[in-house]
Amino acid sequence: MLEELWDSTISSMWFQLALLLALAMLSSMVFRRLGFSKVVGQIALGIIIGPSLLGLVVAEEGDAGDLVTLFAPFGAIIMLFMIGLECDIREIYTKKNILIAIGGITLPWVAGYLLAWYLLPEPGADYSRFYQSIFIGTALVATSVAITAGVLREMGIIGSKVAKTILGAAVVDDILGMVVLAITAGVATGEGVDVTGLAQITIAAVAFVALGSYLGMKVVVRVIGWVERIGMARGMKESGFLLALSFAFLYAFISELIGISAIVGAFIAGTSFSACEYRKQFMEGIAFLEWVFAPIFFLSLGILVDIRLPAELWIFAIALAAVAMLSKLIGGGIPAWLTGMNRRESISVGLGMAARLEVAMIIALYGLTEGIIDTPLYSAIIIMGVVSVLVAPTLLKVAVNKLGSSGESIVSESCELP
């Protein structure tokens, strides 16, 4: 009887939600007390309560699984939309950020391929060593925008030059990462590179960023402002906020539709609406949603990890995480230095781009479903991502603190448009 009651309780969505929010609050307090990032603490806690250890929450079909798969992406979208609202769009999509992004995908792609080629054992008859290696490289290309943005915001430097450079390059990274995936998928599945399809993805992504940003600043913001004024006159203060949020989800939908991450669309919507006269009110409203759903996102990243792997794959996963972070540090840091940033700022940019997870998970899942990689190698890629998001934000915090202690300004600049 008691066992049945426990099973029904632990599988209930509402119990899971109560548990996750309470644990997120407690872990944040503990990790803040210890001087660590609360984002890192929530991910670590997710691993502890996930299927690998305590098994209190599992990412499978059913109420609990639905909670993780539904609420976690929602939290990421909410967070990136709010962060976009805090930023000046003109300082995000720049030539410097594009150059940093190109360096940040090229070196990790090559480094990941070489590591997999020389370190992975010969795969079974159903898999190709070359295809697996090039796919491992692909999993390293994209930066975890949500993780990095959450840490930067937690540190209170989201408006600084370093933060804007990291976010701009990371968004471009995600777009280019999908282009790299299209190339790799064509090679690894034996179908060849679909030049037409590749061109379509690239053109659609660039057009979406450009057109979405332009329409957001010139048209959508005016419509939102008009609706907000009418709503306030009629005692409906939530009108403009709800419309802005609906456009954020629309941008996320379009972003996914053309083949890039939904969180990129949410971020583009936020930067586009940052000129809205009611931005401050909108940020106050969306902050409550972020408080609820962002912790679930970070906890879910840990819950999705299965640490029960053979020793050789653990060695590979740790080596892959080290290569992933080092290649981003160099690949993103050197272009940052060459484009005018000083050494400490360049190191901070490289570390800010070192965390991987969301897009790496998408790429790894694609490889698994297409038969390019097997389940243990899929888990190794996910562990690589988790290690990077546990380590890289901590190193970034140290680097930024040293940047401030050296007398160089890292104080958040105003994101308001003139």
Residue 358: pLDDT over 70: no
Q: What is the pLDDT of residues 265-288, one digit of tens each?
A: 888 888 888 777 777 777 878 878
Q: Is the pLDDT of residue 323 over 90?
A: yes
pLDDT above 50 (res 332)? yes
pLDDT tens-digit map of 163-193 = 888 888 887 787 777 677 767 766 665 555 5
The region, left, alpha or beta by phi > 0 then psi within -120 to 50, assigned to residue 197 is alpha
The region of weakest confidence among 17-26, 95-104, 253-262, 366-375 is 366-375
Mean of pLDDT values over 332-343: 89
Please tell me the pTM assigned to this model.
0.68
Q: Using CB atoms within 10 Å of the CB of residue 191, give its burial: 0 to 12 exposed, 13 to 18 middle, 19+ buried.
A: exposed
First-residue to last-residue Cα distance in the chain: 66
74-405 fold: Na+/H+ antiporter like fold (1.20.1530)
Q: Which DSSP string corresponds to 364-379?
A: HHHHHHTTSS-HHHHH
Tell me which of 403 and 144 has the higher pLDDT.
144
Geometric angle at alpha carbon 131, from 374 and 108, rounded to 5°: 100
Residue 143 · residue 174 · CB < 8 Å: yes
| Residue 37: strand, helix, or coil | coil
Q: Which of 342, 337, 333, 334 is nearest to 407 (CA)?
A: 342
- The Cα 209–Cα 266 span in angstroms is 11
64-110 pLDDT, tens digit per residue, is 445 666 677 787 788 778 877 876 666 667 788 888 989 988 999 99
DSSP H or E stretch at residue 358 = helix 358-369
228-to-213, 215, 223, 278 alpha-carbon distances in Å: 20, 18, 9, 8
Has residue 416 got a pLDDT over 50? no
Sequential DSSP letters for 314-350: HHHHHHHHHHHHHHHHHHHHHHHHHTT--HHHHHHHH
The DSSP annotation for 61-73 comes to SSHHHHHHHHHHH
Higher per-residue pLDDT: 9 or 403: 403
Distance CA 164, CA 86 (A): 10
SS3 354: coil
Short-list 382, 381, 387, CA closest to 132: 381
d(CA 386, CA 39): 12
Integer Cα distance of 119 and 317 in angstroms:
10
Residue 137 has pLDDT above 80, yes or no: yes
Give DSSP secondary structure letters for 156-225: T-TTSHHHHHHHHHHHHHHHHHHHHHHHHHHHHTTS---HHHHHHHHHHHHHHHHHHHHHIIIIIHHHHH
Question: Once rounded to an integer, what is the mean pLDDT over residues 199-205?
Answer: 76
